[in-house]
C-alpha cells in the first residue's frame, strides 16, 4: 500500500463513539450503537465502500455503547451487553438479509467493556467486563448460535475489564491486561489462556507493563503485539510481544506517541496500523505503522480528525475505514480511509 495519508470519505448519519463496526460478507460495514453527546443510541448504518456513502438500516432494540459485535458463520451479527445507564444483559442479532434486529437469549450477567471471541466450534466466548457497583468480573460465558442460549463456563483467574482477547492458532484465547475495577482500579500485567476443550483458564507470563485500554494484534509469525494503553496514571508509548510457544513477553520498539483507546489494524503487508487515541489529555490525529521484521514504528501521516473511541475496519480491498469516535469536544460523524 502506498503511504498517501488518509482521505475523507462520506460522513455517517449519526455522530457516535464507543460503537462497533463489522465488515459483512458482502463487503459493506455495519456500524451500530455507541454514544452521541448525551446518551447511548440504538441507530445502525451501513457503509458501502464502492460509493463511500452511508445509509441507515434497522435500529437495534436496545440503545447501547461499550458492547461487542461478532460475525457468526451464518452472516448474522451478534451484539452483546454494553451500557445504557447500567450494564446490559440483553443480546440481539442483526440479519443483513432483512436489515432487522431480533432478540436472542440474555447473558447470565449484565456487562460492558467486555470481550467476545468466536471459538473454533462456532460458540462465542464472552469474558470479564464490569457491571453493578463498578466491580469487574472474573466470569465468562458461552453463546451457542444453534440454540440461542448462554452457559456459564470457567472463571478467569483475575477480574478485568477493558482488556483484550486474541484467538491463537491452536484455538486457545489469550486475555491480556485491563483494569481491576471501574473508575478506581489499577491496570494489570497479568495474562491468561482459555482452553475450550476443558473450559478452564491458566495463567501465562505477565506483561512487562501494566495496561488497559490497549490493543492486541496477531502477527503473521503468530506472536501477539500489544500496544499502548493506560497505566492507571498515564498513557503508554510501550509495546511488547507475546510468544505462544514460550508463554513469555519481550519488549519491542516503542511507539512515537503515547496513546490509549486507540485502534490497531493488520494490513495486507503484515504491518500494523495504529490510529488515534488519547494521550491522556487530548485526542490524537497521529498514525503509526509497526514493521514486524524490524520491530520499528514509522509515521505515514496524520488523520484529518483527532479521535479516540473510534472504530477501524479493514475492508476487502485492503484499505482501513476509520469511523466516528470523539475529539476533545464532541462525538464525531466523520469517517476517513487509509
Answer whether residue 29 shows pLDDT above 50. yes
Q: What is the pLDDT of residue 185?
A: 66
Q: Tell me, yes or no, whether 19 lies in a domain.
A: yes
Q: Please give the average per-residue pLDDT across 7-24, as a whole number.
A: 98
* Number of structural domains in the chain: 1
The verdict on residue 56 lying in a domain is yes
> What pLDDT does 3 receive?
43
pLDDT at 183 over 80: no
Query: Confidence band (pLDDT; 50, 70, 90) for 10?
Result: very high
Report percent pLDDT > 70 for the chain.
97
**Residue 59 domain boundaries:** 7-106
pLDDT score recorded for residue 17: 99
Tell me the per-residue pLDDT of 292-325, one tens digit each, with 9 for 90 and over. 999 999 999 999 999 999 999 999 999 999 999 9
**Which of these ranges, 106-115, 132-141, 227-236, 251-260, has the smallest mean pLDDT?**
132-141
Nearest to 292 by CA among 222, 228, 235, 230: 222
| Position 182 pLDDT exceeds 80 | no
pLDDT recorded at residue 30: 99
- Considering the domain boundaries, does residue 54 fall inside one? yes
Angle CA(1)–CA(243)–CA(159) in degrees, nearest 5?
Answer: 105
Is 167 a domain residue?
no
The model's pLDDT over 246-280, given as tens digits with 9 standing for 90+, comes to 999 999 999 999 999 999 999 999 999 999 999 99
- Give the residue-averaged pLDDT of 191-216: 98
**Would you state the pLDDT for residue 132?**
81
Residue 134 covered by a domain: no
Domain presence at residue 185: no
pLDDT at 319: 97
In a domain, 163, yes or no: no
The whole-number pLDDT of residue 4 equals: 52
Write down the pTM of the prediction: 0.96
d(CA 93, CA 102): 5
Q: How confident is the model over 125-150, as pLDDT tens digits?
A: 999 999 987 889 999 999 999 999 99
Give residue 267's pLDDT: 98
pLDDT of 151 over the 70 cut: yes
- The whole-number pLDDT of residue 2 equals 40
pLDDT greater than 50 at residue 1: no
Amino acid at each position: 500500500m502506498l503511504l498517501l495519508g488518509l482521505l475523507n470519505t462520506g460522513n455517517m448519519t449519526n455522530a457516535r463513539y464507543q460503537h462497533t463496526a463489522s465488515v459483512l460478507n458482502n463487503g459493506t460495514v455495519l456500524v451500530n450503537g455507541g454514544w452521541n453527546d448525551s446518551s447511548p443510541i440504538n441507530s445502525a448504518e451501513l457503509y458501502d465502500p464502492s460509493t463511500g456513502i452511508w445509509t441507515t438500516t434497522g435500529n437495534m432494540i436496545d440503545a447501547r455503547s461499550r458492547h461487542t459485535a461478532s460475525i457468526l458463520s451464518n452472516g448474522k451479527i451478534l451484539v452483546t451487553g454494553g451500557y445504557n445507564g447500567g450494564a446490559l444483559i440483553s443480546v440481539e442479532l442483526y440479519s443483513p438479509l432483512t436489515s432487522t434486529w431480533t432478540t436472542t437469549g440474555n447473558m447470565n450477567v449484565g456487562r460492558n467493556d467486555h470481550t467476545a471471541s468466536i471459538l473454533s466450534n462456532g460458540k462465542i466466548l464472552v469474558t470479564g467486563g464490569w457491571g453493578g457497583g463498578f466491580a469487574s468480573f472474573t466470569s465468562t460465558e458461552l453463546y451457542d448460535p444453534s440454540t440461542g442460549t448462554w452457559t456459564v463456563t470457567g472463571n478467569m483467574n483475575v477480574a478485568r475489564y477493558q482488556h483484550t482477547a486474541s484467538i491463537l492458532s491452536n484455538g486457545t484465547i489469550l486475555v491480556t491486561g485491563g483494569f481491576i475495577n471501574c473508575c478506581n482500579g489499577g491496570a494489570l500485567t497479568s495474562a491468561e489462556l482459555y482452553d475450550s476443550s476443558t473450559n478452564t483458564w491458566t495463567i501465562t507470563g505477565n506483561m512487562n507493563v501494566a495496561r488497559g485500554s490497549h490493543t492486541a494484534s496477531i502477527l503473521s509469525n503468530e506472536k501477539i503485539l500489544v500496544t499502548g494503553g493506560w497505566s492507571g496514571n498515564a498513557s503508554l508509548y510501550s509495546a511488547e510481544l507475546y510468544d505462544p510457544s514460550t508463554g513469555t513477553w519481550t519488549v519491542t520498539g516503542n511507539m512515537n506517541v503515547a496513546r490509549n483507546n486507540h485502534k490497531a489494524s493488520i494490513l495486507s503487508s503484515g504491518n500494523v496500523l495504529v490510529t488515534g487515541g488519547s494521550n491522556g489529555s487530548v485526542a490524537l490525529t497521529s498514525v503509526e505503522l509497526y514493521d514486524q521484521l524490524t520491530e520499528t514504528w514509522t509515521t505515514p501521516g496524520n488523520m484529518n480528525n483527532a479521535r479516540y473511541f473510534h472504530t477501524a475496519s479493514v475492508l476487502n480491498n485492503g484499505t482501513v475505514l476509520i469511523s466516528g469516535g470523539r475529539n476533545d469536544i464532541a462525538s464525531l460523524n466523520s469517517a476517513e480511509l487509509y
